[in-house]
Amino acid sequence: MATFSVPSYIPSTFEDAEQLRNAFSGWGTNEKVIISVLAHRNAMQRRHIRHAYSDAYGEDLLKALDKELNRDFEKAVLLWTLEPAERDAVLAYDSVSKWGPADSTLIEIATARSSEELLSARRAYHDRNKRSLEEDVAAHTSADFRKLLVPLLSSYRYEGAEVNLSLAESEAKLLHEKVVEKAYNDEEMIRILTTRSKPQLVATFNHYNNEFGNPINKDLKSDPKDEFLRALRAIIKCITCPEKYFEKIVRLAINKMGTDEGALTRVVATRAEVDMKLIKEAYYMRNSVPLGKAIKKDTTGDYEDFLLALIGEEDA
C-alpha cells in the first residue's frame, strides 16, 4: 500500500549512488535528482543505495545529505532515508529529549507498529543512544504519563488473531467502571491497554460500545483539554483505526496557523510505505479536499515536491 511510485526500470544501486553524488557536487545541489531517486525507492532499495554510497565514496549518505540540504526538506529526506527501525529510534529520541504531553510520537511508535517493529526500534535505540528507550522514557517522564508510556513502549503484544470473548466482556466492564469513576490512571486500565493483543482490544472496545452505549473514546472525552485523556484516546485510535488517527494528525498539522512541519513530515515519512493510501482516503472523506492539494497549499519548494512524491501526488 505504498503511495510513492517505483519506476519499472530501476538503475543499479551504484548508479543511484552515483546520481546522488553528482547531485551534491559542483555549485549548489540538485534537489530534483535527490527527489527523483530517493522518493521513488522502497526501504530495501534505499538501504542498498546507502551501502553502495558508503562503499563508493567512503561517507555515509546521511552525512552527505545532512551537509547538502536544509530545513524541512532536509529533515524529511533524512527521516525517509533512514531504515524504519532507525527512523523510529530517531523520532523517539527527539520526542523523549524534549518531552511534552502533547507530543504523541511515542504513542505512535508503541502502538502503530507491529510487535517486531517496536522491538527493532528499541534495538536501534540501544545502538544510537547507548541506553534503552524505556530507560530514557522512565527518566524523562513522570507521574501518570510514566505509568502509561513505559509499559506501552516495553510491550511485546501477541499478534495472533485469537480473541477471548469472555475476557473482552469482563475487561470492557472493568474499563467502564474505571471510566465512570474517572480513574483514568488506574492500574487495571493501563494494564489492559498496554498488554492485551490488538484483536483482543478491538473485541473489548466493541463490547464496551455495545454494552454501554458509547464508543470508549467518546467516554474518554469528558475533559477535552486533559492531556492524559488525549493520550489514552490516541492509543485506542492507533490500535483500532490508525488511518483515522494519522488523518487527524495531518489535518491538525495543516490547519494550524503556520503548518506543523514536524508532524506532517513524521506522518508522511513513517506511513508512505505502510497505509498512506488509507490515510489519503480518510483525509478526503473528512475534509472534502484531496491531501495532495492541502499539502500543496501549505508547503513550498523542494519540501513540497518531496512530500507530494511520497504520497504519490506529484501532479496534484
Quote the least distance from Cβ 83 to its own copies, whole Å.
Answer: 18
265 is annotated as contributing to ligand binding: no
Residue 212 burial (C-beta neighbours within 10 Å; 0-12, 13-18, 19+): middle
To the question of whether residue 26 is assigned a binding role by annotation, the answer is yes
Task: Rank residues 199 and 312 by Cβ distance to its own copies and give the closer one.
Answer: 199
DSSP 21: H
| Min dist. Cβ of residue 65 to its own copies (A) | 27
Residue 313 grid cell: 501526488
Candidates 10-18, 24-32, 69-77, 125-133: pick the segment binding its own copies (CB under 8 A).
Answer: 125-133
241, 278 Cβ separation under 8 angstroms: no
Q: How far is the CB of 231 from its own copies (least distance, A)?
A: 18
CB of 25 to its own copies, least distance (A): 38
Is residue 83 exposed (0-12), middle (13-18) or buried (19+ Cβ within 10 Å)? middle
- Of the two residues 133 and 291, which places its CB atom closer to its own copies in the complex? 133
CA distance 217 to 213: 12
- Cβ(274)–Cβ(293) below 8 Å: no
- Binding test (CB under 8 A) with its own copies, winner from 48, 140, 146, 173: 146
> Is 151 an interacting residue with respect to its own copies (CB under 8 A)?
yes
Decide: is 150 part of the binding site for its own copies (CB under 8 A). yes
Q: Is 181 in the site for its own copies (CB under 8 A)?
A: no
Residue 103's alpha-carbon distances to 45, 54, 111, 168, in angstroms, are 31, 34, 14, 30
Q: Does 191 bind its own copies (CB under 8 A)?
A: yes
Smallest gap from Cβ 177 to its own copies, in A, equals 17
Contact between 119 and its own copies per CB under 8 A: yes
Amino acid at 237: K
Site for its own copies contains 177 (CB under 8 A): no
Q: What are phi and psi of 241, to 5 degrees?
A: -155, 70
Residue with cell 510513492: 4
What residue has cell string 542498498?
48
Q: If binding is defined by CB under 8 A, does position 98 make contact with its own copies?
A: no
Residue 195 DSSP class: H
Binding residues for Ca(2+): 24, 26, 28, 68, 254, 256, 258, 298-299, 304
Contact residues: its own copies, CB under 8 A? 119, 122-123, 126, 130-135, 138-139, 146, 150-151, 154-160, 162, 187, 191, 195-197
